[in-house]
């Protein structure tokens, strides 16, 4: 094993002198006093090696010995991940709390997976079966999932099973199978293995194009700016615009099998809400606590900066692991800007030539590589699995022109830009309907969505004009367009995430209501004057808002729906051709 000693300390960057073999990005431990501090090699120049330390560096001395492990930064993969709360380096936070109390202890690293828990193993492979990495050896029940025990991802080549244990209860450290390859090399298979976080898991036969929508149950996303399973999206927004709330809502209601929450450099208080509430909230789909489909990776803003970068990779690696079992996984990273800032800090210490706003020149390629780990893949057994990545961005000053937002926009498939204007007006979710876009197909036909969107565009134009010439200077026709756009905004784009019914809207309900909204948009009604038009739309709006808060299977819903329809037909409207086509497309 390679050893060395500390020659310099600058913030969380430490220089080490060694004459042994060192691998880029391998993990090294610095022996400072009675603690071993974990660190990662980030530059090698001759005998001098720079490492970034995942802890506070206070107390390190020149001359302290350093131990290189020859392993890249890795995570443990196996049964027992679900429902866990880890820090960025996969240390289980509840167990750390049990051991050392209130505060995090530098240099304390615990096993991510319990070695004592027994799992009921059922073999799927037989002796003499030929297996490739990632193929199923057996399975164990993990909560309500069938957790597939796979041939470890680093078993390159073909292996034949020489021995496999019968069904029974084992711990993850038990050898459940033995395999050998054509050359006679033998290896043991356990229920867990480790995988380096910065390498994408690539055990699949092909990558597919994201096509199926990922239902978030947030209307403005599902209808207007959809996300696909295996796709990527980003949520940039100034502070206070509701990024985190939007992600919390998504993490609750999204129709996926597993949710990974990477709280990266944000407020601890927000994670606390998630981790105290999720065990109590019941997921209507499975009838189990939400926590059972969730893994939280939490490196909040006051935790060591270098581990912040690791945390998003830890999260995506766990997501890929579950994808390999044919599951749909959603990774929510909040916030990628903090991760980019961690890179900037380290780049500055390495005295690299800075790019824009002092971010390193490789910022874009690193962000692109991260988002590219999302995807939907066909596995060796023909099943598909997906990882969808949604990242928030916290642009300085709320200005989307800054490097992190721009680098992210280049690589994502959907952009949900939050606006201060909308959040100030308490219009939530504050996704800006004119700035945002999506390249994916959603649950609604393009034509219908496009038709509705034209009202938002025209309405905004009229609204801007009205600010100058006043209501008096606006024609009745324009004014009605404006009212329609406001109506669409109020009853469809905005959604009350605190209302038990309105918080999550199923796709079928979205279609049902959207049809009614389209009908109202498409209608031509002759109004007496602006007052008359305004009253008409205000009344419709009120009924629609009541409708939004009513469960779909209730009589109330049916009668409110009818009430809106009747109020519209009473005015004997004519319908625009394009509108009728849009409604037809819905059917």
Partner 1 sequence: MNKIYSKIESIVGNVIAVKAQDVAYGELAQVKTRYGMSLAETIRLDGDMVYLQVFAGGRGVSTGDEVRFLGHPMQVSFSDNLMGRIFDGAGEPRDGGPVLSDNLVTIAGPSVNPYKRIIPREMIRTGIPMIDVFNTLVKSQKLPIFSVSGEPYNPLLARIAMQAEVDLIVLGGMGLKYDDYLFFRDTLEQGGALSKTIMFVHTAADPIVECLMVPDISLAVAERFALKGKNVLVLLTDMTNFADALKEIAITQEQVPSNRGYPGDLYSQLAARYEKAVDFSDAGSITILAVTTMPGDDVTHPVPDNTGYITEGQFYLHGGHIEPFGSLSRLKQMVNGKTRDDHRSIMDAMIKLFAAYRDTLEKKSMGFQMSAWDRKLLKYGELFEQRMMDLSVNVPLEKALDQCWGILAECFEPRETGLRSDLIQKFWVGNE
Site residues (CB under 8 A) for partner 1? 6-10, 15, 32, 56-63, 85, 93-94, 96-97, 101-106, 238-240, 265, 267-269, 271-273, 275-277, 298, 300-303, 305, 338, 341-342, 344-345, 348, 351, 354, 357-359, 394, 396-399, 424
If the CB atoms of residues 301 and 454 are measured against partner 1, the closer one turns out to be 301
User: Taking the CA of residue 471 as centre, how many other CA atoms within 13 Å lie in the half-sphere pointing to its CB?
Assistant: 8
Q: Is 285 helix (H, G, I), strand (E, B) or coil?
A: coil
CA 64/CA 61 separation, integer angstroms: 6
Nearer to partner 1, 166 or 397 (CB): 397
Kindly give the pairing relationship between strand 145-150 and strand 193-196.
Answer: unpaired
Tell me whether strands 13-17 and 48-53 are parallel, antiparallel or unpaired.
antiparallel
CB 579 within 8 A of CB 521: yes
Distance CA 2, CA 20 (A): 5
CB nearer partner 1, residue 39 or residue 223? 39
What are the C-alpha distances in Å from 69 to residues 14, 25, 28, 152? 16, 11, 6, 20
Please tell me what DSSP assigns to residue 217.
S
Pairing state of beta strands 136-142 and 118-123?
A: antiparallel
**Closer Cβ to partner 1, 131 or 306, answer by number:** 306
Question: Of the two residues 64 and 292, which places its CB atom closer to partner 1 in the complex?
Answer: 64
| DSSP 8-state assignment for residue 220 | I
- The distance of closest approach from Cβ of residue 83 to partner 1 in the complex, given in angstroms and rounded to an integer, is 13
DSSP class of 301: T
Token pair 């989307």 is found at: 400
Complex with partner 1: residue 75 or 298, whichever CB lies closer: 298
How far is C-alpha 210 from the geometric centre of its chain's CA atoms?
16
Give the H/E segment covering residue 26.
strand 26-32
Q: Which is nearer to partner 1, 138 or 429 (CB)?
A: 429
57 vs 548 by CB, closer to partner 1: 57
Helix (H, G, I), strand (E, B) or coil at 187: strand
Q: For residue 505, how far is the Cα from the chain centroid?
A: 20
Burial class, 209, CB count within 10 angstroms (exposed 0-12 / middle 13-18 / buried 19+): exposed
CA-wise closest residue to 579 among 525, 517, 534: 517
With H, G, I as helix, E, B as strand and everything else as coil, classify residue 310.
Answer: helix
d(CA 462, CA 108): 61
**Minimum distance from CB of 60 to partner 1 (Å)?**
5
Other Cβ atoms within 10 Å of 256 Cβ, number: 22
Q: How far is the CB of 423 from partner 1 (least distance, A)?
A: 10
Tokens representing 309?
């970068």
Reading the block at residue 228, the tokens are 């696909």
CB neighbourhood size of 280 (10 A): 9
Cβ(236)–Cβ(395) under 8 Å? yes
DSSP 221-268: IIIIS-EETT-EEEEE--TTSSHHHHHHHHHHH--SSEEEEEEESS-H
Cβ 187 to partner 1, closest distance in Å?
Answer: 37
Least CB distance to partner 1 at residue 244 (A): 10
Smallest distance, partner 1 to C-beta of residue 380, A = 38
- Rg, the chain, Cα only: 27
Closer residue to partner 1, CB minimum distance, 56 or 409: 56
Q: CB nearer to partner 1: give 131 or 343.
A: 343
* Cα gap 218→235, rounded to integer Å: 14
Tokens 């509840």 locate to 94
Question: 264 has which bridge partners?
Answer: 299
- In the complex with partner 1, the residue whose CB is nearer, 63 or 166, is 63
Least distance between partner 1 and beta carbon 542 (Å): 13
Sign of CA pseudo-dihedral 188, 39, 85, 219: negative
| Closer residue to partner 1, CB minimum distance, 63 or 284 | 63
Question: Considering beta carbons, is residue 45 or 103 the nearer one to partner 1?
Answer: 103
């Amino acid at each position: 094993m390679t050893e060395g000693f500390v020659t310099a300390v600058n913030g969380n960057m430490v220089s080490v002198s060694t004459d042994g073999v060192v691998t880029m990005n391998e993990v090294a431990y610095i022996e400072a006093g009675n603690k071993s501090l974990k660190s990662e090699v980030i530059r090698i120049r001759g005998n001098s090696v720079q490492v970034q330390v995942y802890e506070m560096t206070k107390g390190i001395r020149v001359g302290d010995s350093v131990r290189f492990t020859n392993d890249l930064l890795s995570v443990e993969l196996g049964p027992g991940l679900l429902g866990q709360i880890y820090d960025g380096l996969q240390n289980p936070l509840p167990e750390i709390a049990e051991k050392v109390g209130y505060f995090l202890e530098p240099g304390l690293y615990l096993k991510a997976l319990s070695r004592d828990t027994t799992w009921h193993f059922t073999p799927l492979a037989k002796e003499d079966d030929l297996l490739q990495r990632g193929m199923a050896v057996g399975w164990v029940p993990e909560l309500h999932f069938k957790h597939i025990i796979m041939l470890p991802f680093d078993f390159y080549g073909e292996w034949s099973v020489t021995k496999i244990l019968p069904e029974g209860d084992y711990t993850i450290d038990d050898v459940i199978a033995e395999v050998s390859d054509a050359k006679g090399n033998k290896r043991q298979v356990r229920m867990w293995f480790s995988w380096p976080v910065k390498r994408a898991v690539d055990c699949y036969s092909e990558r597919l194009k994201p096509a199926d929508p990922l239902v978030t149950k947030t209307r403005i996303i599902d209808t207007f700016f959809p996300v696909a399973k295996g796709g990527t999206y980003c949520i940039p927004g100034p502070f206070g615009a509701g990024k985190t709330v939007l992600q919390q809502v998504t993490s609750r209601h999204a129709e996926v099998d597993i949710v990974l929450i990477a709280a990266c450099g944000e407020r601890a208080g927000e994670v606390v809400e998630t981790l105290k509430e999720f065990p109590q909230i019941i997921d209507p789909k499975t009838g189990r606590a939400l926590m059972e489909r969730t893994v939280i990776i939490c490196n909040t803003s006051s935790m060591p900066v270098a581990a912040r970068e690791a945390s998003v990779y830890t999260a995506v690696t766990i997501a890929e692991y579950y994808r390999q079992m044919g599951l749909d996984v959603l990774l929510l990273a909040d916030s990628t800007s903090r991760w980019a800032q961690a890179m900037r800090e380290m780049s500055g210490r390495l005295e690299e030539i800075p790019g824009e706003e002092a971010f390193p020149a490789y910022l874009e390629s690193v962000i692109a590589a991260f988002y590219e780990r999302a995807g939907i893949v066909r596995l060796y057994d023909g099943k598909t699995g997906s990882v969808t990545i949604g990242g928030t961005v916290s642009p300085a000053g709320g200005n989307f022109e800054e490097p992190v937002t721009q680098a992210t926009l280049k690589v994502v498939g959907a952009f949900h830009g939050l606006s201060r204007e909308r959040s100030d007006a308490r219009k939530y979710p504050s996704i800006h309907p004119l700035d945002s876009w999506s390249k994916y197909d959603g649950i609604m036909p393009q034509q219908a969505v496009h038709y509705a969107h034209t009202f938002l565009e025209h309405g905004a134009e009229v609204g801007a004009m009205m600010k100058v010439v006043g209501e008096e200077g606006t024609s009745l026709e324009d004014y009605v367009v404006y009212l329609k756009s406001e109506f669409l905004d109020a009853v469809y784009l905005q959604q009350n995430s605190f209302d038990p019914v309105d918080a999550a809207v199923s796709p079928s309900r979205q279609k049902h209501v959207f049809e009614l909204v389209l009908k109202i948009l498409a209608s031509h009604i002759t109004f007496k004057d602006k007052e008359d038009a305004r009253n008409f739309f205000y009344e419709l709006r009120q009924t629609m808002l009541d409708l939004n808060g009513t469960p779909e299977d209730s009589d109330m819903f049916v009668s409110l729906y009818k009430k809106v329809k009747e109020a519209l037909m009473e005015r004997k409207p004519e319908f625009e051709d394009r509108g009728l086509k849009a409604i037809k497309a819905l059917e």
